[in-house]
Structure formats: C-alpha cells, structure tokens
A and B are shown apart, each in its own frame.
Chain A
Amino acid sequence: MSTSRGEGTRGRIGHRVPGRGPGPGRGRGMRDVVVIGAGVAGLAAAIRLAEAGLSVEVVAKGVGATHLAAAVVDVLGYAPGRVDSPAEALPAFVRDHPDHPYARLGPERIAEALSWFRGRVAELGYRGGLQRNLLLPSALGVPRPTALAPATMAEGDLRGGGRIVVVGFRALKDLHPRLLAENLALADVPGGRVEARAAEVALDLGAADLGAVALARRMEDPEVRKELLTELEPAVADGEAVAFPAVLGLDDAPGIWAELRGALGRPVFEVPTLPPSVPGIRLFRALRHALRRAGGRLTMGAEVVGAETGNGRVTAVLTRTGSRAVRHAARWFVLATGGVGGGGVGSDSTGAFRERVLGLPLRFLPPEGPPFLPGYLGAHPAARVGVAVDERMRPLGPDDAPALENVVAAGATIGGAEPWREKSGEGISIATGYAAAGTVLAEVG
C-alpha cells in the first residue's frame, strides 16, 4: 500500500507516455555492412571491410568452423588426382568445373586473397603458396596436400621424404602414433621415402582423458614442457624430425614451438587431430583480433531468424533477444552461413533443401533419383548444393540475375564444390570472402 508522497514514482505512471526508445522489434542504428556468420569466410570479409573504414558488424549464431578444421589453407588438393601445383592445376580445373566458385574468381584473385590473408594473421606465420602444395601428414598418416600451413605445422612437409618420430601422449586419445607412423611409411611422396616410427610420452597430467585443448593449455606451463623434454630427448634419434599432435599451446604456439624446436635441435611440427582443433582456435582468435583492431564488431549468440526485404533489397536482418526481435539494418549484407555444415543450408524430412536465412534460391540440387549414392566415398548428387554466385559473389536468382541487390555470399554457402574431397575449403572461404568484400567496397565507394 503506497503512501502518496510525491507523485508515486513507485507504482503509478498516470498520463505519461512510454519513453520513446525502441519498443518491440525496433532497431539498431544503421551500419555499412552486416556479415552473417563468423567462420573464415565471414571474418575475412568483415576484416577487409572494416580495414577500409566501413562500420561492420558480424552476427553469428556461434563460433564458426575454424574450431573444427586444421587451420591449414587448402586451395586445391585433388582434382581428382593429387595436385602438385594449384597454380598450374587451377586453369584446367576451372575449365572442367565451370560451376565451381573458383570459376567465378580466377587464379589471380585467389592469389591476391591468400596473400592478403597471410598478412592479417602474420603472427601465425603461414608458409607455402599456390606454386607448390605442401604434403602434410594427416592424423592417419596420409600425405595430405595443402597450400598454406602455419609455422607450427609447416615443417611436416613430406616432400623429399625423411625420418620422423611421431609422438603421442598417453592421455590423448585423438592421436594414434603407431598407426600414423606405419601409414606414413607406406606413403607415396615425391623425392624420397618417409621413415617413421612412434613414441609415446607418459607424462602424468592428473587425468587419463585429456582432450587436445586441455593438453594445449597444460603445454603453456613451462614446467610441463620441461618434463616433456626430459622424457623425449633420450627417445629421439639422429636426423629425426619430431611430429606432435597439435597441442603446442593456445596463446603462444609459435613461441612454444620455437622453444621445443630449439631444445630438440631438429624440425618439429604439429599434426592436426580430431576436432576441437587447437590450431583452429588460434586462427579464430587471430581473426577476431584483426577484426577488433580494424574496428569491427562481433556479436555471438545472435542467430539470424529473419530478414526484412523490399524492392529487391534487404533492409535489415533480425536476431532475437528473449522474445523481442533485434533489427540489424545495414546497407550491405554478406551471407557466410557455412552451407550444409554450418546450418545455412538445410533440408527437411521430405528431403527438400532451403537456404535458411534469406531464402535464396539454391542450385546444384540433386536431379531425379537418390541424392546420395550407395557407396560412401562417391560423388553424391546432393553434395554440391548451395547458392550460385556471379563473379562479384552476388547470389543469383533463377534467371541468373542477382537475387537481391545488396547481398553478397561467401564460403561454403556457395554451391558447386566438394571442398572436403577436393581439399579446397579455406581457399574458397578466403577467396570468396575477400572478393565479396571487394564487391561491397566498389559499390559503397
């Protein structure tokens, strides 16, 4: 029961009108660009745009696929035979795959994008290029072609052969050094044979089951590294390079890698393990840092649930906070939602596919007949589903004209590729992200 002293601040507002703020579904200020998706493609586009002085917001449901991939940059690994030189193979590849995203870009733009990318994450020390693929061992010991690798991984290049000891940690179930080493010894690499053997480090870290990230955090402790070296030094033979699972720290991996390399006096390299990918987390942090440096913003936990369109343009995308929609208005939008893997493209229980954010038309849908073949390792008709884009990364409608005026697409949402088979994922993401940003910059002026 309130006593009426004053005008009843407590309970009665009387004639006053609601403060004119936002109300339900009313908006944020207008930005230059909203990027949807925080994977490599989205972040690459956002960084390029922010560095050019545009106001950029990245809205993302969650963390992108960086945390799941090896953090190498695959440009073209198999076409379908193993590719020695992406630069040499690309022209023929593009001719044979006229619907591939690379066909929209061309080798020069791809090279430019990669070079730009390396500069943005210079602290990770990416080596390699389009001229010659590196051959890095997978966690199963398959020589896997890739174009760029960070410093902590690059010395694993198997070309020319060599002798390697593969170190496993007892507590890490995600790397099996014996199987890796035996398969490596059977590997077909140019310029020499690979001799490989396994060594296991017992290192008691207080738990029998440590994931790669937990182990990487422990490796940031100099005492742990000292203990590791004590166990390892006598076990390493002359002329052997040392392969570790990718657990050499989270925050200062280049430093830890250099320290181990120096102490062991021989090449040292990381082999990427099952997700979560420690090198991938490093890459994400480096990209986020670059974005922040450039003045861009990243909003996570913000799934785009709808869009406002009119006159062939997107005026805003909508996310939710509680029961209320939040409007993200912008002049341009970059759709980098990750395709089928990222959830940007999905199918329902009848098998019908949909681009789930803007409802863009999809291409490369499976023709009549089963979308997936009986053999697992086949070229499945439904594998390349995605949006089609022009050379400017603008998603196309059924008449091959841009579906929306102010939208560009990047990354795995673009169809026409099978990056996991071709080994082309990061190349597509970086190059299309870079190109998408380029289109926006040209338009915005």
Chain B
Amino acid sequence: MRRLETDVLVIGGGSTGTGVLRDAAMRGFRTLLVERGDLATGTTGRFHGLLHSGGRYVVKDPRAARECIHENRILRRIAADCIEDTGGLFVTTPLDDPAYADRFVAACRETGVPCEEIPVAEALRREPRLNPRISRAFVVPDAAIDSWKTVWATVRSAQEHGGEVLPYHEVLRLLVEDGAVRGAVVRDHRGGEDLEIRAAFTINAAGAWAGRIARMAGCEVEVIPGKGIMIAMNHRLVNTVVNRCEMPSDGDIIVPIRTVSVIGTTDVRVADPDRWEIEPAEVQAMLDAGENLVPGFRRARALRAWGGVRPLYQERKAADTRDVTRAHTLLDHRARDGVERFLTITGGKFCTFRRMAEETVDAMCAQLGVEARCRTAEEPLPDSEEARYYWLGARVADREATLLEDQLICECEMVPRRKLEAAIRRRRTADLDDLRRSLRLGMGPCQGGFCMYRATGILHRELGLEAPRANRALLDFLQERWKGVRPVLYGDQLRQARLDDWIFQGLLDVEHLPTARPAEVARG
C-alpha cells in the first residue's frame, strides 16, 4: 500500500474541514485533507447559501447570534468574492405573531445584530413580489454566500501555504496505536487503490458523519442527522434574503443565491445521514411556506429539490432536532476518551466555519505545545483581495465582452467553453457533476438539456477518454440530475423535462449508448 506522511490529517472536505486545512497550513503545519466525495458534497454544498446576520437567532439562541454577526463581518472582509451583498429582511407575515417583532428588535440590540425598521411600503417597493399583507419589515445584514466558491477559495489559500486535498478518498479505518490516532487508511475511489496516511495529529471534521469516524478510534460521539430539504426556484423571486419575523420554523426563509431563489427548510431527524428521501409532503409544505412569503409562489417554476443533513451534536438524546443546539462542539478526545492526537469538531453553521477551524487548530496547537497565531481572519481568500462583493451580472459582462471569440456551453448559467476546458484540466475529472459544482454547469432551467451533450463532447476530447467512459459520464449526470428534479416535476419543469427526454432519448438515443462497466461502485 502506498504511504503518505503529514503533520495534520483533516477528515472531511466541507467548510469546517477546509477551514481547518487552511488555518493549520497558514500556521506552518504540513496538512492533508481527505474527503470521500467531491469537496462540499456533505452538508456544506447543500444548504441555501445564507450568510447569517444572526437575526434568526437573536431571540432563541443569542450566543449563536453573536457568533454569526461577528463572523459575518469577517467573511465579508476575507471572502467578499464569494458573497453577494443582498441584504436581508425580516417581515411579519399574516401567519406570524405580531408581538415577536418587538422582541426581535430588542434582542437585535442586545446581541449587536444591526436592525433597522422600514415602512412596509418601502419593503414592497424593494421587493414587489413580497406578500403585500406583511405588517412590519426590518432590514438586517444578511447576504448570500456561495458555499462551493468559498470552499474552493479556502482550499486554494491552503494550497498556497502548502496544504493539500484528496477528494474521492474515503477513510476506511483510523490507525490507532498506543492510545493515539496516528492517521488513517483511505480508499481512492477514482484510482481504485488504498492509501495509508501517517499523521502526527488527526482532526475529525466529518460533520454529520463525525460519529462514524470517531467510532473508528473507539470514541462514542453522537451526531444527530437533522435532514432539511430545500427547493430552488427558477429565478429570483426576491433579490433580498427574506425571513419570517418569528421563532425559527420550517420554510421561513427565501434566499436569492446566484440565479435562483431557495425556499427552505425542514427539520426531520433521520437515522442515517446517507439514507433518506425527500417526501412529497415536505415539498408541499415548502411550497405553502413560499406562498406565504411570495403570493403566486406555486405558479412559479420549481427547478430542483435537494436535502442536506445538519450535524447536531448532543450528549443527551432529543426528539426535535430544532431544539438541539446549533452551536458548534469541539471534542477533546484525550480528556474525554483517553485517545490522543485526535480532535472532533462538529455541529455549527456554515457561517461560523472559520471560527470553528480557529478553535480547533488552537486546541491542537495547545496539545502539541506549538505557539502559532491564527491569521485566517486577516488574510483574504484568493480573488477576494480587493474586498469587492460578487456581482450577479459578472458572468453576463464576461460573455458580452467575448461574444465573438468564445462559445457558450451552458447557456442558462453562462459557462463559456474556455472556462469549462480549464476546469476539466485543473480538476482532471471525468465526472460531469464535479464540473457542475465548480462551474454551475447544468444548474439552470434546462438542467443540462442543452449543455450536457456539448460538455460530454468537450470532456471526451480534453481528457482523451474512451467513448464508453464519456457516455457513462453523461448517463451518470442525467441520473444525478433526475434525483433533484423528480421531487418537483410539475408545471413548467415537467414540460422542460419532457423536452429533455425528447433530446436525450428521442434525438440522441442515450438509452442505447455503449457503456463501460463503472470502475467504482456508485455511492447511494
């Protein structure tokens, strides 16, 4: 078995894990991260993209609110390119308790979350589709943050400091010797081989799967998977984040993120973070929730539904995961379980990832007796050096400047050919879904109907793939896409799906493509 050595092994390629990777690398540690899938395919890539102002928690969980607003400001500084400054609104809808609004205002003041009341007419002027029957409206500094972009920028920063990532490398077992974790054995799902990684310290940042990893070191860690589903609507019904001014509940937020608006979310405890369904009743509940915020929501087009599992750590058992703490938890296994060289960081929110990483690496440094200061809040991520927020029109402006010189491959999301080719080369991946995450390829209304043929041809050519391999890439993408579309297949999206059927099956006859046997077993 091939063997690698490193100072720090990070398990889990979501926001927390990559945050730890960056922080540790910046403090001079040789750091390697392993992730069983593509980066950010756990919880990080599956939330709605809200950069919290903290307003959501001011009444219910003031500590979380304070953390949020603190990190909100830091992320705006260091990750501006990943953030669109949409602003946020808290509105009292007819379904909400009007008394909550005053508590909200007071709690914002208490926790330091900026909050300004505006007249309802002004809110409706800014957001014409908002429910005209709202009674109050408050402006807060919510924003929309692109999680994939943030994760990949964090990784690039880490790489600049010597860090490395190994996506599609799944931990099979931890190496536990003499009461300490010495690394892990991982399987390379793409290459097919197993790999032994020796590390002086191992950090378990596997999120909702952290319990599974901790158990490999004999540590009992219970992480409750709290499933939440979301629906992306085809276009931005609102350009501001809109929250219900009420205690947190299902479907109380619409986030405009990139070209879509996302309604979410639900909160259902599941037993296994890898085995759960999107239930039709959940979808209907989200549509109803949307209708409350934006009348006519049900007539608008739903693009795709997906879910994620929140990692909710609790020492005691709890039935409703919404009451389980949202704060993050750092577990020192030396003190807790007698296992050295091993920390677990779990729970938390996307927007506090940097801080979670800071606490984790601080704790590791303390255990190792290393003095090294955290600078992750000071140094901006790549592309965010000029502290300019992301502008949604950027891709359009880029295309307008290159109309005659480049080809638009994904027209819905404006992905030009050069960008696709560069991503294929950079990632050396024959997986169209990896490219989807990097570029938003196939994430628009046609869900790949037009761009997938083109992307497959380009992939085939760039990587010199054998035709059956390229065919399999296309079929795999179509299946992945179907998973997201199926729960919301009605109305306009159904009509689109029928056209896509005519293209893929009717015109291209993909059902009868020659395909190779897949080298790896597909995960559920």
Contact = CB atoms under 8 A, between A and B. Distances in A.
Q: Are A and B a genuine interacting pair, yes or no?
A: yes
Interface of A: 65, 68-70, 82, 138-144, 171, 173-174, 176, 178-179, 182-183, 186-187, 206-209, 272, 274-275, 339-341, 343, 346-351, 370-372, 374-377, 419-421, 423, 425
5 contacts: A68-B502, A140-B508, A176-B458, A178-B461, A348-B490
Given A207-B404, A420-B506, A349 B513 contact: no
A183 B299 CA distance: 42
Contacts of B361: none
B450 A274 contact: yes
B499 interface: yes
A371 B450 CA distance: 25
A274 B408 CA distance: 14
Contacts of B404: 206-209
A68 B500 CA distance: 11
B249 interface: no
Nearest to A145: B509
B460 A176 contact: yes
B406 A144 contact: no
A183 B513 contact: yes
Contacts of B499: 68, 341
Contacts of A138: 507-509
B498 interface: yes
Nearest to B457: A176
B457, B491, B495, B507: residue with the most chain A Cβ atoms closer than 10 Å: B507
Contact of A341 (B490, B502, B508, B512): B502
Contacts of B352: none
A149 to B, nearest CB: 14
B471 A140 contact: yes
A339 B482 CA distance: 21
B28 to A, nearest CB: 46
Nearest to A275: B503
A377 B299 CA distance: 28
Nearest to B454: A173
A1 to B, nearest CB: 41
A420 B505 contact: yes
B417 interface: yes
A187 B510 CA distance: 13
Contact of A183 (B458, B467, B478): B467
| Majority secondary structure of chain B interface residues (helix, strand, loop or mixed) | helix
Interface in B482-523: 482-483, 486, 489-491, 494-495, 498-499, 501-503, 505-514
B407 A372 contact: no
B460 A142 contact: no
Contact of B502 (A183, A187, A420): A420
Contacts of B406: 208-209
Contacts of B456: 176, 179
B491 A346 contact: yes
A425 B498 CA distance: 13
Given A176-B460, A209-B406, A341-B499, A419 B453 contact: no
A181 to B, nearest CB: 9
| Majority secondary structure of chain A interface residues (helix, strand, loop or mixed) | loop
Contacts of B483: 374
A179 B467 contact: yes
A209 B407 contact: yes
Given A140-B453, A179-B456, A348 B471 contact: no
Interface string B251-288: 00000000000000000000000000000100010010
Nearest to A198: B461
B468 interface: yes
A186 B249 CA distance: 55
Nearest to A65: B502
Contacts of B298: 348-349
A421 B503 CA distance: 11
Contacts of A140: 453, 471, 508-510, 513
Nearest to A74: B506
B315 interface: no
B320 interface: no
A407 to B, nearest CB: 23
A343 B284 contact: no
Contacts of B508: 138-140, 142
B505 A183 contact: no
A343 B507 contact: no
B298, B454, B502, B513: residue with the most chain A Cβ atoms closer than 10 Å: B502
A265 B508 CA distance: 29
B460 A425 contact: no
Interface string B442-463: 0000000010011011101100
Given A138-B508, A372-B489, A421-B505, A186 B468 contact: yes
A349 B492 CA distance: 10
Contacts of A68: 499, 502
Interface in B376-391: none
Contacts of A275: 450, 503
Nearest to B482: A376
Contacts of A351: 280, 490
Nearest to A383: B501
Contacts of A206: 404
A403 B408 CA distance: 48
Given A138-B508, A275-B503, A179 B494 contact: no
Contacts of A376: 478-479, 481-482
B490 A174 contact: no
A347 B490 contact: yes
The 3 closest A-B pairs by CB, nearest first: A176-B457, A420-B506, A182-B467
B470 interface: yes
Given A207-B404, A374-B482, 11 more contacts: A65-B502, A140-B508, A142-B510, A171-B407, A174-B454, A341-B502, A347-B491, A348-B491, A349-B491, A377-B511, A419-B506
B405 interface: yes
B286 to A, nearest CB: 10
B443 to A, nearest CB: 17
A142 B513 contact: yes
Contacts of A348: 298, 490-491
A69 B507 contact: yes
Given A174-B453, A208-B406, A349 B514 contact: no
B407 A208 contact: yes
B497 to A, nearest CB: 9
Contacts of B460: 176, 178-179, 182
A341 B500 CA distance: 10
A423 B457 CA distance: 24
A373 B45 CA distance: 25
Nearest to A339: B498
B116 interface: no
A187, A375, A420, A425: residue with the most chain B Cβ atoms closer than 10 Å: A420
Given A182-B466, A420-B502, A139 B507 contact: yes
Nearest to A351: B490
B453 A139 contact: yes
B507 to A, nearest CB: 6
Contacts of B486: 370, 372, 374
A419 to B, nearest CB: 7
A143 B481 CA distance: 25
A372 B490 CA distance: 11
Given A142-B513, A376-B478, A349 B287 contact: yes
Contact of B506 (A182, A347, A425): A425
Contacts of B505: 377, 420-421
Contact of A209 (B408, B450, B470, B498): B408
Contacts of A420: 498, 501-502, 505-506
A174 B404 CA distance: 17
